Chain A
Amino acid sequence: MRQGLPDWLKTALPQTAAAPATIARTAREQVETLGLPGLRDEEWRWTNIRAIQRGNFSAPAGVGADIEPAIRLPLDNPLRLRFIDGVFQGVPNDAPEGLTLTALADADEATRQAAFSPKPAPSVENPNDALVTLNTAMAREGVVIDVAANATIERPIVIEWLDGATESVMSHPRVLVRLGQSAKATVVEHIETVGDQPAWRNSVIVSTIAANAALTHIALGLDGASRLATERSFASLERDARYHSYNVQLGGQMIRREYDIHVGGSGAHTDLIGLMMPRGKQVLDTHTRITHAAADTTSNEHYRTIADDAGRGIFKGRILIEEDAQRIEAYQSSNNLILSDNAEIDAKPELEIYADDVSCSHGATIGRLDQEALFYLRTRGVPLAEARGLLIAGFAQEVIDEIPLVELRDWLSIRLEERLGEQDLAGHETE
């Protein structure tokens, strides 16, 4: 059985939350029994949550607003939505036409209802959902991003999660992204540790994408040896809607990211693309669940992990095709590279298919650097360490190349090169 909530978490439960009263009350009751997930839960078998259980975190007491991220993303005229240790720093006043940004605290009841009613609804049976329920009970901070029907927002909307500014802080922010019919927008999560304090962020993003609308959602976990994060993204798609997700995780003590994609209207499509690069003792973990709930829908999933040192990468991808969802195309691949004897990668596809007219494929590979390729490069005069770097970068590049923003792609390639420069790549190769 699961342990209940640790005391430090119990005492932190707020009297007033951003969720509508009935939802908040139910959540508060449930978290007491749900507690935190533990190693005994199948879904958490590979990901040690102990650092959070023992964390003794508290809600931020108020932080200086003058904190800036150290990393500048090369984005064109971004709209910044900054959270410092989960505390929202306010909406920018230059939102373009068609875009409405509202602090969660200022949102009306119906909007807050939407923000706290993701699809599929969190369930008491599912240990994964304990953290969502906890977020519901705890959330006070957040933002609502509304894109009007037919509006195309060219400026990237950047959610800056700046974690670790103050000591032992936890946060449970909630974000709602709503795209009206035929709307288009790009949301980028810029995730960065701004101090060396341990911190835990348990954030939830709920996206609803109306007919024919397209949301591009890029998450960039840029660094962070001390960062603990449990991140959940829900997206539900109506007819002909698009949800393109890119998830790049370059570090963090323990990052668990989960996606629930509900492909609920015919003609809808989702891409889930990801790259995780754990090193040191980092644990980078992504779980995805795609539900094809309507006929004639498609999904394309491509994840890669590169684990060095004693780093640990976990990818679990579930695809559920409901009974009436015919003519589905769903592709999933997970390719993984292990660079050291102490590194570990677990990759697990999970298909649940109840319809019969389905074209579905999945494949997972886990391997070392290709010795033939290394030899080939060296016969061209490329020194061993550099040859390894080229192969690793090349492996990652195939994911980066899928990111639709060219400036970001180039920037990530360079950052990757720098990052590989820090790693000891002269390591011993054995056949």
Chain B
Amino acid sequence: MALLEIKNLHAEIDGKEILKGINLSINAGEVHAIMGPNGSGKSTLCHVLGGRDGYEVTQGTITFDGHDLLEMETEERAVAGMLLGFQHPVEIPGVKNIYLLKEALNAKREAQGLDEIDTFTFMKQVRELVASMDMDDAFLHRGVNAGFSGGEKKRNEILQMLLLEPKLALLDETDSGLDIDALKVVSEGINRMRGEERGIILVTHYQRLLNYVEPDFVHVLYKGKIIKSGDKTLAHRLEAEGYQEILEEAS
């Protein structure tokens, strides 16, 4: 059974249909890249998968790890193993990063029937991850993403992913706004997550991320539909030719 199975998904915002029949199947162990022009609905798909209020699913089904995803609250999806990496991570001054990391980890552990993690083990683990992301410990004691640079916010998303070890990571343009070094660090983080038991969806505009994290499948989303799917060579074609030719082929 697929880890994530999306069938004929239609969704609207404020009565305006944005997703117009998406079909997508992702197995554990696979990395999928979703590409597509601005405004095609990539972030909308991520938000629908995250269960955001105001995004109304009008048709279709989504199964995640055997659960009917559309019946679950956002936080239930999270503790069941879905992690959404935001295109624009939200700044939350006043809530410390370290506090959120601990709350998030404990929420997941609670759902798994585990005790709260002890502070010592937690801090040790977090410090190692922070170092691996080439971040400074000081970030832990700042408000969540508060005043972080664009690149720092994206590293922070990956840090959370590495700590929470989701079954499915949905990374919406995690590579946007990164300098070359940061792109490497972020890619290494994603590759570390790659494994038999996990699925990864990378929403991206650029081939350069896919050079570091080779996808098993590439999909092109256009006007709320996946109009073409292929292997990694599809991304190369897009990089070389742009969307025009592929759009024409598809229509």
Contacts and interface: CB of A to CB of B under 8 A. Distances in A.
Answer yes or no: do A and B interact: yes
B94 A379 contact: no
B94 A378 contact: no
Interface string A382-423: 111011001101111110000000000000000000000000
A245 to B, nearest CB: 21
Contact of A377 (B53, B54, B100): B100
A370 B90 contact: yes
Given A381-B75, A384-B73, A394 B143 contact: yes
A109 interface: no
B84 A397 contact: no
A391 B92 contact: yes
Contacts of B78: 378-381
B79 A375 contact: no
The secondary structure that dominates the A interface is helix
Q: Which of A373, A381, A387, A429 has the most C-beta atoms of chain B within 10 angstroms of its own C-beta?
A: A381
Contacts of A370: 90, 92
Q: What is the size category of the interface that chain A forms with chain B?
A: 20 to 34
Interface string A137-177: 00000000000000000000000000000000000000000
Contacts, number: 83
Interface in B60-90: 73-75, 77-79, 83-84, 86, 89-90
B75 A384 contact: yes
B52 interface: yes
B100 A429 contact: no
A378 B73 contact: yes
B79 A381 contact: yes
Contacts of B100: 377, 380, 382, 390
Contacts of A382: 75, 100, 103-104, 107
Given A372-B90, A379-B84, A382-B107, A431 B54 contact: yes
Nearest to A429: B53
A376 interface: yes
A370 B94 CA distance: 13
B75 A383 contact: yes
B1 interface: no
A33 interface: no
Given A371-B53, A386-B103, A394-B143, A378 B74 contact: yes
Q: Which of A375, A379, A430 has the most C-beta atoms of chain B within 10 angstroms of its own C-beta?
A: A379
A104 to B, nearest CB: 41
Contact of A375 (B50, B94, B111, B144): B50
A390 B54 contact: no
B160 interface: yes
A375 B43 CA distance: 14
B39 interface: no
B93 interface: yes
B92 A380 contact: no
A424 B145 CA distance: 27
Q: Which of A372, A384, A393 has the most C-beta atoms of chain B within 10 angstroms of its own C-beta?
A: A372
Contacts of A391: 92, 94-95
A396 B94 CA distance: 8
A395 B107 contact: no
Contacts of B92: 370, 373, 376-377, 391, 394
B225 interface: no
A292 to B, nearest CB: 29
Contacts of A397: 94
B205 interface: no
A390 B101 CA distance: 13
B49 to A, nearest CB: 10
9 nearest CB pairs, A to B = A394-B94, A381-B107, A381-B78, A380-B104, A378-B74, A376-B90, A394-B95, A431-B54, A381-B79
